[in-house]
Structure 1
Amino acid sequence: MKRTHLPLNGLRVLDAAARHLSFTRAADELAVTPAAVGQQIRALEDTLGTVLFRRTTKGLELTPEGEAGLAALRDGFLQFEESVRAMQAGQSSKALTIAAPRDLTAKWLMPRLSAIAAADPEVRFAIVADEEVDFAQANLDLAIRWGAGPGEQEGEALESDGMVVVQAPGGGADTAIAWTGCLTEDAGAAVRVADAGLAIDAAAAGLGRACVPELLARGDIAAGRVIAVGEPRASDKGYWLVAPTPQWRQKKVKALVDALAS
């Protein structure tokens, strides 16, 4: 059903003027001039095709037509306020839905979410395996994606040293481990796995060497499961925290971005 265009500014002025029965006091409430109030009322009267106020020797008074619509108008404004509160409730909540690659979730994200939750027991997380999930369909607050930038979204890069080659502390097989999406996938690799997280695990098991994102391997290197072979090398790609502008501006998302990027 097509909705009637509502002159909301004029209706707001009507409500204030009807309560005060004074264009001057209504103007004070609305932080405008009395002349602006008068202009809005005249424009509303032209739109509605009826007279809303008349001036008498006792001052300003509502016409029967103006009086007839006030109760419904004020109920409508109350409904607007309830609608705004309902829409803001999601922003003020501490429930966040995050999409991230499975290997990044296991190797990097979960320990950080655990620390955030320990600092604030009221926070709640829902994690979605990211395969370019649609933000609207999945009701996402934030996504972490691999790429050269945030694309069409707002975004912030996660700090990293690029790519690093890792192997088991004892050395293991002197062969390459390939994974889907690897920047330098070896056609002759002895082991092939689905993602960089599994490539790190294969290297830890002694199956060879894997070239993986340094951010992903950082925890396993620190724990001694694998060691870095040589120095990390720069990459034009990395992990990005991304979200559409409306989500990116939410306080709870900003706080999460700050916590994850620090």
Structure 2
Amino acid sequence: MKRTHLPLNALRVFDAAARHLSFTRAADELAVTPAAVGQQIRALEDLLGVVLFRRTSKGLELTEEAGAGLSALRTGFLHFEDAVQAMQAGQSSHVYTIAAPREFFAAWLAPRLAAFRAENPQVRYVLVDGELTDFTEANLDLAVRWTEGPDDLEGVRLGAAEWVEMGEGDWIGWPGDPAPDSDEGPEAEDAKPAIQLADAGQAVAAAASGLGRVRVPALLAAGLAEGKRIKVGASTPCRRAYWLVAPLPQWRQKKVKALVAALTEAD
């Protein structure tokens, strides 16, 4: 019999009935009717091709065939319980593996993670650079992505979907800024970037050095401009924003819920 075809519910009913030697008491334990217990037992007997219980003048008793498999069955259920506890222990782990763009970590995420750890000193972090890191390959708990939405993941937006322009002069490009000819690109005729850099942090540093102007997400503007002499313009709407995302199983974990709540409350 294939593992995927194991009649686990019927086996659980059989275990309860064998312990009590009573369909009625087994039904009470399982919160079902005695008739439902009898139906499960008959279905299991049909599947296995053996008789499991015999009614005698003294009441219900196990057949020899039923007794032969009972010990192994109960050991199996104990292993199931151990497996569940092990999985739950993993969910309660205090280690968070998070993928985030480098500039976002420096300007926004790092101080909030520090605040969360100050209240939860047992917490440990593993930070992975790169917002598109695969959840399965990197064993991630959460990722921060600069995108229009969470796509097929669960997520929450961090901050408003807005741009802020910083600096003056020629345009400075970075991968997260739309192409100049897109409907979100800069309107100036000389919008083609004079300098192309790796991320928003480098772009802001270049603008602060007088190399030109750059657009960055409004959520990062204050953090990236801190300590720099740089002109900061007004915010403008943007289709994209920073999203905190994870697959649904991770999103439901107790430890992930706690961190998401802390980060969104601080937002």
- The alignment's TM-score, normalised by the length of structure 2, stands at 0.89
Match of 2:196 in 1: 192
Match of 1:39 in 2: 39
Q: Which runs of 4+ in 1 moved over 6 A?
A: none
Match of 1:19 in 2: 19
Alignment size in residue pairs: 256
The offset of 1:225, in angstroms, is 2.3
Are the equivalent residues in 2 in contact too, given 1:166–1:226 (CA < 8 A)? Answer: no
Match of 2:248 in 1: 245
* Cα distance in 2 between the residues matched to 1:127 and 1:2: 41
Q: 1:181 aligns with which of 173, 176, 185?
A: 176
Match of 1:166 in 2: 166
Match of 1:203 in 2: 207
Identity, in percent, stands at 63
Are the equivalent residues in 2 in contact too, given 1:203–1:226 (CA < 8 A)? Answer: no
Structure 1 108/208 Cα, relative in aligned 2: closer, same or farther at 3 Å? Answer: same
Mean CA deviation greater in 8-17 or 178-187: 178-187
Are the equivalent residues in 1 in contact too, given 2:171–2:195 (CA < 8 A)? Answer: yes
RMSD value, Cα: 2.0
- The alignment's TM-score, normalised by the length of structure 1, stands at 0.91
* Cα distance in 2 between the residues matched to 1:132 and 1:117: 25
Q: Secondary structure at the match of 1:79?
A: helix
The offset of 1:161, in angstroms, is 5.6
2:154 is equivalent to residue 154 of structure 1 = yes
* Cα distance in 2 between the residues matched to 1:9 and 1:228: 67
The offset of 1:251, in angstroms, is 1.4
* Cα distance in 2 between the residues matched to 1:203 and 1:143: 28
- Unaligned runs of at least 5 residues, structure 1: 168-172
Are the equivalent residues in 2 in contact too, given 1:161–1:232 (CA < 8 A)? Answer: no
Match of 1:170 in 2: none
Are the equivalent residues in 1 in contact too, given 2:164–2:236 (CA < 8 A)? Answer: yes
Are the equivalent residues in 1 in contact too, given 2:201–2:224 (CA < 8 A)? Answer: no
- Unaligned runs of at least 5 residues, structure 2: 179-184
Structure 1 226/112 Cα, relative in aligned 2: closer, same or farther at 3 Å? Answer: farther
Q: Secondary structure at the match of 2:155?
A: strand
